[in-house]
Amino acid sequence: MNNQKETEELWNEIKKDIFRINEKGLFEYTKFAINSLYYSILKDEDVTIRCSKELIKKLKENKSLYRINSNIDEFNVQYMRVYDYVKENSSKYIKVYASLYFYDNLANNSISSNSKKVINRYINDIWILTFKCDSNVLKRSEGNVCSNCGSIMKYNSFNNTYECVYCKNLVKFDGAEEELELTDIEILKD
């Protein structure tokens, strides 16, 4: 499940199976999901994104491993790419590689007053986020029927649309965040 493939090859494979997703939408949603989940766990608030109960429990039990603590002054996502695409039985999973940058201003922490030298810490972690794709996502098949005339719709990868072969009706989708459930976050170690 950890075999890494070339990004373009992965997107081609994903697009064969999942219509309502694109790279920009996936990455924007991933940034939002990381921030939302991190601060929800930190503040002990309800998680508002689609996320498995097992992952929430894992993060709460391993806060220090995921750097979820009030000493972290700031964090942001530096870089993302698709890491893997896995099909298990009827489920599909997209794994996203995310490089996270944490900043800890030690002067803000509760440290000993005997300490004369204050050092800031900069930490870079790699998270592999696993999103499960809902089974109700539109798939490329001859079963996609035009809502306008009932004819067959064919996929056009150039403009990310379905086009009816008869009446030329176009159906376009820009993202798929409502179809994604965050099921796991692994920390990649060297």
The DSSP letter of residue 37 is H
Q: What is the tally of structural domains in the chain?
A: 2
Per 3-state DSSP, the chain is made up of helix, strand and coil in percentages (nearest 5) of 25, 35, 40
Give the pLDDT confidence score for residue 177 in this predicted structure: 46
Instruction: Provide the whole-model pTM.
Output: 0.72
Tell me whether residue 128 is in a domain. yes
Give the pLDDT confidence score for residue 14 in this predicted structure: 86
CATH of the domain at 80: 3.10.450
Task: Round to whole Å and give the CA distance between 40 and 68.
Answer: 10
Residues 145 and 74 in one domain: no
Give the pLDDT confidence score for residue 45 in this predicted structure: 92
Residues 98 and 148 in one domain: no
Q: What is the mean pLDDT of each run of 10 residues along the chain (190 residues)?
A: 65 79 85 92 91 96 93 90 90 94 75 59 93 62 62 69 82 59 87
Residues 126 and 167 in one domain: no
The DSSP letter of residue 152 is B
Residues 95 and 61 in one domain: yes
3 state SS of 12: helix
Give the pLDDT confidence score for residue 114 in this predicted structure: 54
Residues 43 and 126 in one domain: yes
Give the pLDDT confidence score for residue 185 in this predicted structure: 97
Tell me whether residue 124 is in a domain. yes
